[in-house]
Amino acid sequence: MESGLRLNPRGSIWKIIDWFYPPNCVACGCDGYAICPKCIDSALPIIDSFCNICGKPVDDLQDCSLCKKSNFQFTYARAAFLYDGAIRTAIKKLKYAHQLGLSELFANFLISVYLRERWEVDLVTAVPLYKKRFASRGFNQSEWIAKPFAKAIGKPFSSGAIQKTIHTTPQVGLNQNERKNNLRNAFSAEPVIVRNKKVLIIDDVMTTGSTFNECASALLKAGASEIYCLSVASTTL
C-alpha cells in the first residue's frame, strides 16, 4: 500500500475508547480486537475471477449473468470481501449495534481495493438514507465508512452530492426486478456539487447493484462525468 494512504486500524479517538473499554472481536469474541486477525484471515476477499464491470465473483470473466440482466450506469463497481462469515457479522454490528469503530477498519479495506484498481476520482460520497430512516437509526453507516476513506485518499467528501428523496421499503428479501422498481427515481443529485466530476459512491453491501445503479443514474443526470462504486462486501450471484 502506498505511503500516506493507510489509515490506522483504530484512529486516535477509538484508541482512547479502547483503553477505557477494550474491544472484543465481533465474530469470535476474543479480547483486544474489533475483528481479530484470525477472523480477518478467514474472510473471503474478492481479488480474483470477478466481473470487470460489477465486480461480482464469476467463473467465466466474459459471462456475468448480473450484467446481462442489468443496464448499469456506473463505470465500475468493486467490493473488498464476500458478504459472509466475520465480515457479514461485522457489517451487521456496525449497522444495527452502533459499533461505529468498525467504520475505520472497513475504510482501510476499501483503500486497498481503490489503490489496486488505480481509479482517479474527484469526489467521494455515500449511499444516502431517507431522512426518516436516518432519524430512527441516528447515523448513516456508509457515510461513516466514506468519510475516513475520503480523508485518507485526499479527496473531498460530500454528503450533499446525492440525497434519497423517496421513502422505500427495505430491499431485504426482494429479487432483482423488485429491488430496481423499489428504488426507481428514489435519489436526486446536486448539479452544483457533482457536475463534470468523477464521483465515487461507497456503501456497506452490494447485492444486485440496484442501489448503486439508481444513485449513479441520479448523479449522471446531474452532470457527473463518471461513477465508481465501492462496497465493503458483495453477495454472490
Q: Is residue 14, in this structure, part of any structural domain at all?
A: no
Q: Check: CB of residue 14 under 8 Å from CB of residue 49.
A: no
23: part of which helix (H) or strand (E)? none
Q: What pLDDT shows up at residue 63?
A: 85
Q: Among candidates 161, 143, 152, 150, which has minimal Cα distance to 224?
A: 161
How many Å apart are CA 200 and CA 176, to the nearest integer?
A: 23
Identify the CA nearest to 91 among candidates 106, 77, 78, 104: 106
Q: Domain for residue 6, yes or no?
A: no
> How confident is the chain (237 residues) per 10-residue block, as mean pLDDT?
43 45 81 89 93 91 87 97 96 92 93 96 97 88 96 96 87 70 87 98 96 97 98 93
Q: Which residue has the cell 467490493?
A: 79
Neighbours of 161 (CB within 10 A): 25
Q: Say if 11 falls within a structural domain.
A: no
Judge whether 42 lies within some domain.
yes
Residue 10 is assigned to a structural domain of this protein: no
The SS3 of residue 174 is coil
Give domain status of residue 57, yes or no.
Answer: yes
Residue 132 structural domain: 21-234
> CA 149, CA 147: separation in Å to the nearest integer?
5
Query: At 228, which CATH number?
Result: 3.40.50
What is residue 17's predicted lDDT score, i.e. its pLDDT? Answer: 44
CB-CB contact of 213 with 134 (8 Å): no
pLDDT per position as a tens digit, 196-222: 999 999 999 999 999 999 999 999 999
Domain count, the chain: 1
- The reported pLDDT for the residue numbered 11 is 53
Residue 213 covered by a domain: yes
Q: What is the pLDDT of residue 137?
A: 87
Residue 105 lies in a domain: yes
